[in-house]
Structure 1
Amino acid sequence: MAVRWSSEFYTAMEHKDLQANAMAVDNTGTYVLLAGRRYIAIKNLDDTDLENVRKFPRQSKYDVSAAEWNPISHQSELCVISSNQRLEVLTWRLGELTQMHSLRAHTRVITDLNWHQSNPNLLASCSVDTFIHIWDMRDPRRPASSLSAIAEASQVRWNRISSNLLATAHDGDVKLWDQRKGSAPVQYIAAHLSKIYGLDWSQQSETQLATSSQDNTIKFFDTNNPRKAEFVLTTNAPVWRARYTPFGNGLVTVVVPQLRRGENSLFLWNTTSRATPVHTFVGHRDVVLEFEWRKQRPGENDFQLVTWSKDQTLLVWRIEPFLQKLCGHDPDNHGKAERMHNEITDVSSEKKVASKIQPLQQEFSLLNVQIPNLEVLKMDAIRRSCTVLANTNNFSVILNVTFPNSYPNGVPPIFQIGEGSSVDETIAGKLIQTLTTTAQQRVSKNRTCLEPCLRQFVVTLEQLVDPSDGSRHHQPVYLESDVLGSFNDACIPFPRTSGAKFCSVSVLVCFTRQSPARRASVKIDSTTPRALSALGNAFNSRRANEYMTVYSYYLQKQRSRIKQNNRVLQKTVITVYDAADLFSVNKQLAEKYILDGDTSKICRHNALMAESIGRWDLVQAWSLARLIVNPQQVEQEDMLEHPFGNQLIQSLINFYATHSDLQMAAMLCCVFGKGEDENVRRKSFLKYLSSGQLASGKKWLKSGGSPYHTIPPADVVADGWVFPLLRTTRSNSLDNLRMEELPQLIPQRTSTSTLYEYYKLAYAEILHRWGLLYNRAEVLKYLSAPGEIHKGVEFLTDCQKCKQPARGSSCLNCKQLSLECVVCHISVRGSANCCLVCGHGGHTKHMQQWFEENNVCPTGCGCKCLLETIGMFNF
């Protein structure tokens, strides 16, 4: 746990081990609940010992989507969390968290829940299954009532004042329900065109409702006149939650976590003046997942906001009277007439201060803090200062930035190198000069300059060389001001112009467009389109409706640059990497491994080969396999009963297969799946692989089959189920090979022999890609499947003796050679050619010699064989 302190938040606790994604603060403001897949944790916010957190193991495969404490004082120990389709009602008493109820009625994932604001027994929940259930804790076996909304429900909220009303969100629509009036909604509001992420009822008016949406707006509705929003608050990002403050006219918003990485701040607004936020809460390093208000203690003027972020940090923010006044709330006004004049004066002065800090506060809120090699340590809009830390090229530099009151109207900020920086005075002076020049270029046009200056700060440091290397310092390089504004966009690659793919075994191919160097003379392209549909509008606006390809788009841009700057076309860079060290299979081993000979000799040889390349794990495996078959230690008839027999070989094969070492798994399958020898019948160590299933160099499944037939079959038939081993297209056959997923992909009734056939065939494919065709043929000899049935056009010869169709050189019916050469009248045993029209033919050499001088068939049938055959393929 790490503890951090700041001028804005007075408590910060980091809990990386919790991995929680839901948070809730209890009604008393004492306890905070953090819930995740692994733990439910309870933290006492009043405890000065920040390390004191009670954790209760949860051990669930589902995350917690929502959590909430009961808002009623006499039931404040009750809390509820939702996980997948279930609600868990928990109670916190005497330092122990126990489960009271498990509520199950939803059939899809629960999206939101909410306790009733005045009845401690009522709880509402909504789900993707389109239902809104209302639960009564006095009878938790089933929902007290159910509301059917037809569309998926994403939010549910009870009205804070009217006890019978609740609102639900469905995509961009809102439905209002009255629990006294059946299961039909009483009002329907077409609020947004995009999805609604948050609902919140006003704490002061029972008819005012706020909705936050993906369309970057928060809308405020009066339910008495819901056709049109009373007013709209527009932001620059999709809004995840928008909730009223417990004081004044304030509203706190946060962006959508899934859609806005890099924006980790919360914004405080005054709903009566909605131009810009009145304050930004900056401190989290990742997106905010949840925030809630802590109950105000008696005698205190400050309010406290508790936030939980994806960075697993809990922050408690103090909302001082100054910020409350910006939201229209006066904490010091007790209705005394004698203080009225002073209070008005104070509010006026605070508004003047607020008018000064708002532009700077807005700049802070829009700052992209994800700049490489840069860490923002502190941003304080009230004190008008910012502190950052840059680490690059062995330099560590702290930069303090102070903003004058007139900034950015022609007045640049003041830069200072902070104490503890690892640069000398010369470098520090150059950095300050560079930053001042960059800032002056911006503020001379009344533009803000913080982010361009910070990026220039990092770029300048990158151009410097550490003096410990004995090299001279390079001069800082100035980037144009208009370049800096689009620096992020220029680094985003356009779709389909960059990528990486594993092609063939151990080869990684990467391609990308050449990026311009970061120099002042090179202007970075700031108009990179984000989608293919934007090509026409991005460059060829006058012909926006015409279709433009990626190639033509960049070709036009390059030609335009050549005309302006006389530059040559940039070429696409394709880089091929040897990624052999990333894989378990090894080409050198494949060349040295053997499969012929005595099993003990094979194991010994392969162990030596593995030792030669330093694969000691394989040496141990081959030595263990040799120990099993060594006749000096194990009698031949006892091999099947040996403790190091069947189970160990199976374990070795499964171990290497699941660890993606397909080479070793296939070799073991081949070695210990050898068939019968001519004289000695060897018992198989793998009981489930009978000699009838296994192929060897001497015995084949199909009588008459050739031991040199090495064409791999497309499927292996086992137990009546056809298992597709590899794709028919060789280039894609190994792209989706994941050994760890095979047990789940293969049906349970598939025999283990089928799986081992897969290892052999896949390893043979790897050998083919390596060009080791002989080694591939050796492995394929151990396949047990029959040859693939021919699919496609097949030419048959009618036997000249019995006139029956014959597929081979000899007729299976009369056992005679089926084809006789029409030139030499000798039976054809080798290469032959026949006419597709008349059927006459013979030896290829004789037919070639004949048709070099003649154009009709040698038999005198009158067929012009060459012309007729060509004519058959003219479709």
Structure 2
Amino acid sequence: MATFHVAQEGPVNALALNKDNTQVAIGGRNVFKVYAIEEDKFREICNLRASKHLNLSFSCNDVSWSSTDDSYLATAATNGHVCVWNLTKMGKAMQEQDYQDHKRTVNKVNFHASEPFKLISGSQDGTMRYFDLRVKSAVSVFYSNTESVRDVQFSPHNPYTFSAVSDNGSVQLWDIRKPEKCQLQYTAHSGPVFACDWHPECTWLATASRDKTIKVWDLTSKPTLEYTIHTIASIGHVKWRPQRKYHIASCALVIDCSINIWDVRRPYIPFASFNEHRDIASGVAWRGDPHVYLSSGRDCTLYQHSFNDALRPASKANPQGVSLNRMGEILYARKVSTVNNNTNNNNSLAKATAGIIRKISTTQSADQFHQTSSNLLQFTHINCIQKQESDNFLALAKNYVLHGRSISELCEHNSAVAREFGKSHISVIWKIIKTMYGEEFMQNSINATNNNRDEGSHNNMPINTMVPSGIGLENAINTIRDVEPDQKSKGGDTPAAQFSGGDDETENEDQVDHAVIYNNGFPADLNFRTGLPKGDFSFGENELDMEIDSLNSDFRTSYRGFNHITPECQQDWTLPNEAFPIRHEILERSSPPEQFPNHHSPDINEEPHTFQFDDQPPVLISVSKPPKKNLWNPSNIVIEALKHHAILGDIQTAACILIVLGDCRKYLKDLSESLQEHWLLGYIEILGRFRLWNVATQVIKLAWLPSVFQLNQQSTRFNTNCSKCAKPLQRVGWLCDRCHSSRYALCSICHQVVRGLYVWCQGCSHGGHLMHIRQWFSINRTCPTGCGHMCEYR
């Protein structure tokens, strides 16, 4: 059969087939039709919304066709009504029954498999109601004690049993003869269960949930989870494939528009996939043939699908893979080509059976797994260097400090840790980060902000200081450092007296020829970013700041005779034509130097000369606005360094530096958040491989990206089972809700209450003291209680 479809006026919410699988009814908010299924098309039989008496009961949330009488249809309406339609009548009489027992939207409606007049429904009001078409109201009411009932299905194996699934993740089994209490209730999923379906051949019940899983439960005795299928989206509908025990179809609620056919024995790759729908599929119905089924969708279409047009995701799956653990061991899976070595010996038999084999393969291959064989190879390479690297990673991860101190202290500590474990180059990197983003960087950032705020206002600036420039700033500072104590006493109390205009001024005239004006002497925050060296970075002495401050003070006292700039004039900085007032008036241009020997240069033994200076020297240069000293931004270099280490595989250094920088990360504007997230998640993953859970948790808590720090907000709760009745223990307490036994907290070996570490088997729910269980499984393989379960202890 071919694949074909028909378009509708609006989205289709549900569909149902009659007992002969020759007609299909579809329903939606604006759609309610019945089609005959022909060879290659759908032929419309009737349109129930063409009636003149439209009301909310014509808006269908679900449709069910009687399995014994083709004349009856039942619909679940969004206004809480359950309507029964008689297709043999016309007009308003087609609506034979209109049950208004539910108080909220009806989610599901189903006819009994063998009773033609029996009907059951499930609603948002948390109740299920059992109807008899011959009675005007519900015959029985079943209270689920949940917020909403999403699906109800009669069991094909027991005419008195039906299942119901709810928003709280539970599954209930009811006996229609006993509406007071359900026969069985168990928690099947961690989220709302949207659909369920009974297996037509065995007592399996499939449930689908928002937790992106489809679970198959064996309800022969107590609920036993047989299979779990993992999907990429929440599942809204499931339907077993006829004549195929392990095949089930599913439709997603969001994201995935495909209809997937699963083999429950392979839970991660669909057996077949159909991608005809352009929006979410809303229902699936098999036509009694395992190779043909119908589907409806929110894309306003009704499809008939043929398995000949199915995609096989497993055939495209790569049978090869590789995995590397932290010890350097490699697991490699490779595809194996199977070759029949006896082909040449059986040529005659092959020719005789070629036609038969070809026919069998074409008919059966569609229902078989994609057969691909793989060999698993393990490679172990003992590398001392690699083992040392792993040991260093562990040591650094355990000893690094990432928070709780200043950036300088953190970098200093981590630098010492890296140096201790032989990572000298990493130690240098931490030193550089300290220099770049330590307290000086933060102070300069604050000063730059304040300067920008006060830009243009110089009325409060201190009086300018004359700084000799003939020897240069660096020579001046070296001279300060090298001066002898006896020289300090010649012209003042400080080394700056050598450059002052005091008693020994003439002794230094050969050195002091010109002067340059600086704002407030030497700047207070000398730094390599501002253009002036300071501290350990350039000179290696912390006393330099005190010397410079002293020098500023002496300059202001020594040159008080030259500072004629009043506060009113401070806003317009001026530069005189000479550093010092000229000794005599120059009347004409000077002669060449060889005609006038430098006989005015004072000798050290000569008496100092006294000069008269003009009150106001002529001005040659006027500076109205001093230039700003821009901060050097090391962000680009840091980003390149982090990327370099990440490329080399040292994700630990990149992630730890990002964490330590803290608020300074705002300067790394060119580093994308996606790359930062990649580094953090990579570091967390590696920590998990080394089982450094505490360090990984600390990294997650210190993360600044929502996608990372929300990892700790995911559920890490484990529910154990009662060791006596195997019921999940969902409440805190010592007693089981079902059997009221406290034996679940007893050790299976010493039979005492476990008050410390408790270990249990997820298969049989038995456990005990960690020490006792470890000793038991060192010599045994089965459960110590004698239940016969082969417990796996690791």
TM-score (norm: length of structure 2)? 0.40
**Looking at CA atoms only, which structure, 1 or 2, has the larger radius of gyration?**
2
> Which protein has greater RCO, CA pairs closer than 8 Å, 6+ apart?
2
TM-score (norm: length of structure 1)? 0.37
